[in-house]
Amino acid sequence: MPYTLEHKSQSRDRILTAAVDLFCRFGFDQISITRVMKQANMTHGAFYAHFKSKSELYALAIRHAAMQSLWVKEQHNISNIGHFTTLIDAYLSLAHVNQLGAPCPLAFLVTDVAHCNDAVRESYQQTFQAMLTSMSEQLTALGLTHSYSLAQQILTRLVGTVSIARTLADKDLQQSLLENSRRDLHQLLAPTAVLHK
Amino acid sequence: MPYTLEHKSQSRDRILTAAVDLFCRFGFDQISITRVMKQANMTHGAFYAHFKSKSELYALAIRHAAMQSLWVKEQHNISNIGHFTTLIDAYLSLAHVNQLGAPCPLAFLVTDVAHCNDAVRESYQQTFQAMLTSMSEQLTALGLTHSYSLAQQILTRLVGTVSIARTLADKDLQQSLLENSRRDLHQLLAPTAVLHK
DNA sequence: GTCTATATGATGATAGAC
DNA sequence: GTCTATCATCATATAGAC
């Protein structure tokens, strides 16, 4: 048997990884199946042995991106507020905006997903809810009150800042936007600010 | 002469209005020139008498959307904080998210624009800067300090909230997201909160 | 499972009549 | 300026060999 189960699973993973990278970088509609498969080192005919449509790939790519994202990977290592704000800084970094590491699908695909079918939107929504819940629990564990609404506040700010920053051609404006959000969120989470509330 | 200058200008306006509506609702790549022209009551051959490419239309549609948006149209009527928060509530309303009135291009086109050429991104950036400056000046006139960074905070939150809300299929989640952002921003702008700062 | 080849359809853009 | 007709290209998805 020339193709093992593991081989298939590896191929599938390469497709998903390529899809996340390309969809985030250029948008779903601008990326053809041929291009995704090329980046995954296969030809486009092989695609349909793994996914039933391009649309299905999108829904699964969103979940894949979420699993690879910094927030999800680090979520169980957060033991103090310092660590939490470190993740915020990473999210609001130029490296993230320029997609050097694993991109957060919430910020990189927002508008795109709004135009898609129910399966894709549900995938996005589940990712959003999972991150919201996880962040809320972390904030509670760190001793903060109103943690769910606080998490919502932080997450919308993160997504808004990064998605806008990505559109800006002016590097100074981009930098100042990111810095400003970092500063605001640090202040929001500073122990003193919380105690005085 | 069968076609007057005014007639051309009206046709152009109908095209731009249709483009804003369709691009925001379905995304740039999913909308064909044929469909835009159909909604503007013309055939697709006439398009190139007004714009040199679909891409140019996009850049101009962003500016057109900005001019029609609530914030820009109402920006000179703001005389007190109550009026300011009324606009925030309108921005964060279900009506806006469901695109019943004029959509804000900043929230409806973020991710889309990030994948486009320089001309389109510059159009978005100029709109962003204009809204930022305008909002900052309003906040200063209303007696608030750190108004530029405050405006940036408000704007990223507005855009983040609306763009995410638009992707959510769950109406309850959508509502609670919008409500939470409204409440936070009210609190941020409440006179007492400012005085105690 | 992966390849090459192909069916089928839609798109952006142009040409020429009126 | 607007129409109809057309070109050239590229997309998704399928068929069949290996």
Strand D atom within 7 Å of A38 CB: no
Domain co-membership, B31 together with B75: no
**Domain-embedded: residue B61:** no
Query: Is A99 found in the same domain as A187?
Result: yes
Mean pLDDT within B37-58: 98
Co-location of B182 and B149 in the same domain? yes
Q: Which of A58-67, B28-37, B186-195 has the lowest mean pLDDT?
A: B186-195
Nucleotides of chain D within 7 Å of a protein C-beta? Answer: 1-5, 10-16
**In this structure, are A184 and A87 located in the same domain?**
yes
Per DSSP, B49 falls in state G
Q: What is the mean pLDDT of residues B35-56?
A: 98
pLDDT single digits (tens) B7-21: 889 999 999 999 999
Q: Kindly report the nearest CA distance between residue B29 and chain A, in angstroms.
A: 6
Mean pLDDT of B172-190: 97
Residue B78 lies in a domain: yes
Q: What is the total count of domains within chain B?
A: 2
Residues B189 and B120 grouped into a single domain:
yes
The span from the CA of A59 to the CA of A64, in Å, is 9
CATH number at residue B42: 1.10.10.60
Is A176 in the same domain as A119?
A: yes
What integer pLDDT is reported at residue B197 of this predicted model?
42
Return the closest-CA partner of residue A164 out of B90, B56, B132: B132
The CA-atom distances, in angstroms, between A123 and each of A31, A62, A72, A168 are 19, 7, 15, 27
Instruction: Indicate whether B59 belongs to any domain.
Output: no
A87: its two tokens: 């993740």
User: Does the residue B60 lie in any domain?
Assistant: no
Instruction: Estimate to the nearest angstrom the gap between the alpha carbon of A16 and the chain centroid.
Output: 14
User: Which CATH number characterizes residue A151's domain?
Assistant: 1.10.357.10
Whether residues B33 and B101 share a domain: the answer is: no
CA distances from A60 to A12, A73, A148, B158, B193 (A): 11, 18, 27, 28, 44
Query: What are the C-alpha distances in Å from B169 to residues A77, A99, A126, A131, B166?
Result: 31, 27, 10, 17, 8
Low-confidence ranges of chain A (pLDDT < 70): 1-2, 191-197
Q: Minimal Cα distance from A126: which residue of B? A: B168
pLDDT of res. A193: 52
Are A125 and A183 members of one domain? yes
How large is the greatest C-alpha to C-alpha distance in chain B, in angstroms? 68
Distances A90 to A105, A111, B167 between C-alpha atoms, Å: 15, 22, 25
Do A57 and A73 fall within a single domain?
no
For the beta carbon of residue A98, count every other beta carbon within 10 angstroms: 12
Range of the domain at A140: 66-195
* Same domain for B105 and B39: no
